[in-house]
Amino acid sequence: MIRLEAPDGTVAIQGRLMALEGGFYILETAGLNVMRVENTRIRCVSDICPL
């Protein structure tokens, strides 16, 4: 599992990292299915961050 947070802490997303491509994290989440999140608008706060 990977956790992504907005820099101001207002949004957090947790899920299985499927890919990091073209500047986007692609996550499979429990409630929202598959999401693409731009990596410049969010930061990874997990032990397994790819960057």
Reading the chain (51 residues) residue by residue, the pLDDT tens digits are 999 999 999 999 999 999 999 999 999 999 889 999 999 999 999 988 886
CA nearest neighbour of 42 among 1, 3, 18: 3
| Predicted pLDDT of residue 51 | 64
| Predicted pLDDT of residue 46 | 92
User: Per the structure block, which two tokens stand in for 42?
Assistant: 């969010």
Angle at CA 15, nearest 5°, toward 11 and 16?
150
